[in-house]
């Protein structure tokens, strides 16, 4: 039976979800559905969330698991009174760090996301905008400034990966779709030839690709297993022919995909600098 996982935060909730999912990934065969509740910065909001948590317990006859990065001690203590397991990342590590650093924590809400470091913040925002503006090959004139250009067939995961790289790591990532015409001609699109050193391919198991495409366009040629098999085989042949590195994302989370791509970017940068 599925368990319900609550991700609670006093800001966007990106951090608590990443940390929580990373822990949950260690338990094979465990299935769950998630509830995201960001911007819990008052007791009134906390009470509304608590009502939802208690209601979930009654409806599912199972206690949900709560992950939090809440900073306010009063709000954290409120959730501890609930009869559910609460995984409090802030409390788990802050006391140990205070002891080690011999410094008190500021207990400032949303500090990770503040603009104290304006340059780093601006870089992330710029990188996200870059990913959006250079999505799906719509604009190619900015490729000279790209750190990475992801290529692959439709629905292989290019867009979410680019956005994650931008938001979390300030990587200027663009993506370009490999179409059926490109595959049939076994040719790399001309616009990409100049940027071959920035290209990285994504691939995926054809059956998983079919499941993804079925959700978008069910019962079409586009989402048939035959079409998916053909596109994946030809795209991988294209990568090999042009010696483009590529990654099979079938069993990987977006965090794992991004980590591998960051390693590739760093290696490429080191080679260029050397």
Residue range 155-176: mean pLDDT, rounded? 93
How far apart are the C-alpha atoms of 68 and 86, rounded to whole Å? 7
Tens digit of each residue's pLDDT (9 = 90 or more) over 195-226:
999 999 999 999 999 999 998 888 899 999 99
The pLDDT value recorded for residue 114 is 47
The pLDDT value recorded for residue 113 is 47
Q: Which two tokens stand for residue 13?
A: 């909730």
Please check whether residue 24 is in contact with residue 4, taking contact to mean a CB–CB distance below 8 angstroms.
no
Please check whether residue 55 is in contact with residue 49, taking contact to mean a CB–CB distance below 8 angstroms.
no
Q: Is the pLDDT of residue 3 over 80?
A: yes
The pLDDT value recorded for residue 97 is 82
């Amino acid at each position: 039976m599925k368990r319900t996982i609550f991700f609670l935060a006093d800001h966007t909730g990106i951090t608590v979800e990443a940390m929580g999912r990373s822990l949950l990934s260690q338990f094979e065969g465990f299935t769950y559905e998630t509830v995201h509740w960001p911007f819990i910065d008052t007791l009134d909001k906390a009470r509304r969330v608590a009502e939802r948590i208690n209601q979930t317990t009654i409806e599912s006859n199972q206690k949900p698991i709560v992950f939090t990065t809440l900073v306010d001690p009063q709000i954290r203590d409120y959730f501890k009174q609930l009869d559910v397991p609460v995984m409090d990342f802030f409390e788990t590590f802050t006391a140990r760090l205070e002891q080690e650093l011999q410094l008190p924590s500021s207990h400032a809400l949303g500090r990770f996301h503040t603009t104290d470091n304006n340059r780093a913040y601006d870089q992330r925002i710029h990188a996200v905008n870059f990913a959006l503006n250079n999505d799906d090959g719509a604009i190619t004139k900015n490729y000279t400034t790209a750190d990475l250009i992801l290529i692959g067939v439709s629905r292989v995961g290019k867009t979410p990966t680019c956005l994650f790289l931008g938001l979390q790591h300030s990587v200027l990532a663009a993506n370009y779709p490999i179409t059926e015409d490109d595959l049939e001609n076994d040719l790399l699109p001309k616009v990409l030839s100049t940027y071959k050193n920035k290209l990285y391919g994504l691939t995926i198991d054809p059956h998983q690709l079919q499941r993804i495409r079925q959700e978008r366009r069910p019962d079409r040629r586009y989402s048939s297993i035959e079409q998916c098999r053909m596109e994946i085989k030809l795209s991988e042949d294209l990568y090999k022919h042009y010696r483009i590195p590529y990654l099979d994302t079938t069993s990987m989370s977006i965090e794992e995909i991004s980590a591998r791509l960051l390693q590739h970017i760093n290696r490429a940068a080191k080679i260029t600098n050397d």
